[in-house]
Every structure is written in structure tokens, then in C-alpha cells.
Amino acid sequence: MKTILITGATDGIGLAAAELLAAEGHALILHGRNPKKLEAASAAVAGAGQGAVVHQSLADLSDLKAVEAMANDLSARFQQIDVVINNAGIFQTPVTRTDDGLDIRFAVNTIAPYLLAQRLMTVVPASGRIINLSSAAQAPVSLSALVGEEELAEDFQAYAQSKLALTMWSRAWGQSHASSGPMICSVNPGSLLATKMVKEGFGVAGSDISIGSGILREAAVGDAFADASGKYFDNDAKEFAPGHDDVMDSQKTEAVIAAIDSVIARVL
């Protein structure tokens, strides 16, 4: 049995993956930002696992101070977290700027998972896994937008840039931990799945959500991802893939990581 943290686990792919993993007997730590939704999700996951152990973690990932507090709390509560699935994401929202002056897509989709993974490294064992949810939507990253100096007019641009930035740092971190562990990779769970984000952002019902939850389950505990550190899995193509050209550019990747570090140093 493994202890598995899933962010954004109150609905969508995160909740569906939690139910799959609970049914296999794993202990789940569910993260959410709405207390009522978190309680409901915990009950659903416990039911799916026939009394599976379910813990809760409440935090707003758009607030980096809250992310750090969440990491500190989890590190104090758990001696070991075997798998971290950074699933939480945001695409379209009426409020696009955080109190720290960041685009909320970069804050939630790129910087929060980076900070959470960084701070939880003390409790994730060498045999553990950190899985970051990417997307088929990826666009060249504006460093000024990443650090909050430039405001992006289009939701899709902000989202696509945030997901490429996530994929870039995931590859760099994964490569640096390839021999020592934990395994760190990024995954596009599938395009236009039946999630709230897709319905609100694109106005379509979406494809079977089990396409995404199934690959997250495989990434968390399956043999196919045992040596996936530094890789990007494209679930649309059903294979590990190179991804965007910028992911393979070490200079651009180093610049993205430096920008993320600068934001964290400034905010915290």
C-alpha cells in the first residue's frame, strides 16, 4: 500500500484517479480548496475503496504562502508520501491575477506544483514518484508573464504557457533525479476530457474521463512509469514523446527555473 497525494482531487480527473487508487487499497491524501467539496470527495473515495484510508489537505494553490504552509503541514503529518500527483489546474477564470501579482495560471499550474514538490522532497522516498499534469496545449513561455510583469490577454495563451513551463522544469528535475530518485515526470492525461475545466473553457462535454484517470493510476503505481524520470507522456498518442521543442532546450529551461525561483524568493 502506498500513500498518495493528489492535488485538485475534489472533482474531475483527480477525483476519478483517487477512487481508482483507493479501490486498489492505497491511502489517499486529497487536496482541495473548498471544504465542503473536499468532505464530499473524501466520502466518495472512502466508499470507492470500501473504507480506504483518506486524509485531507485544504489550501488555495494560487497563494504560494498557503502552498508552503500545506507542504509544511504534510511533512509534519506524514513520515512518507510515496506519490505526489500535481493534478490541480486552472484555465478560465474571471480573476486572473493573484494577490502576489502573478497570473493565476502560472501560479497554480506551474509555480505551486514546483514549490510543493520542492518542499515535500524530504518525505518522498527515492522509490517515490512525482507526477505533474501537463497538457497538449503548450506555448513558448514569456518569462515576464511568468514572473507577473506582463499580463496575457488570452486565457488559452496563459494556460498553454503555464503548462509548457511545468513540462520544462519537470524534465530538468526528472533528469537530475534519474539515478537517485524519486521519479519525476509530466503527463498529458488526454485532450478535452469530460472535466469542469473543459466544459467551462471550451463549451464541450468532453471524452470519457477514465482516459485521464487511468493514465494517472498507471503513472502513480504502474510498471510502465518506473523509469520515466525526465520524460513526458502524451496520452493522446499513448506514448512517451519529445513534446514541445522548448522542453529540449536547456538554456530556456534554466531560464524558466530561475524565473520560478525568483518568484518564490520574492513572495516567500
* Cα 191 from Cα 237, distance rounded (Å): 10
Which CATH number is 3-267's, of 3.40.50.300, 3.30.70.20, 3.40.190.10, 3.40.50.720?
3.40.50.720
Give the whole-angstrom CA distance, residue 231 versus residue 235. 13
Residue ranges in the chain assigned as alpha helix (H)? 12-23, 35-48, 64-77, 104-106, 112-120, 143-146, 155-176, 196-202, 210-221, 250-267
DSSP conformation class of 108: I
DSSP class per residue in 87-100: -------S--B-TT
Which of helix, strand or coil describes residue 194? coil
Q: Which residue has the cell 497570473?
A: 103
pLDDT computed for residue 194 by the predictor: 45
Tell the residue number behind the cell numbers 474531475, with chain if given.
12
- Number of other residues whose CB lies within 10 A of the CB of residue 251: 8
Q: Say if CB 18 and CB 42 are below 8 A apart.
A: no
Ranges of each domain in the chain? 3-267
pLDDT for 27: 97
Q: What is the mean pLDDT of each run of 10 residues along the chain (268 residues)?
A: 97 95 97 97 92 94 98 98 97 94 98 98 98 96 98 94 98 96 96 54 60 95 97 96 95 98 98
pLDDT of amino acid 47: 92
Q: What is the pLDDT of residues 160-202, one digit of tens each?
A: 999 999 999 999 999 999 999 999 999 999 864 545 564 455 5
Q: Which cell goes with 16?
A: 476519478
Integer Cα distance of 164 and 122 in angstroms = 26
Give the pLDDT of residue 39: 97
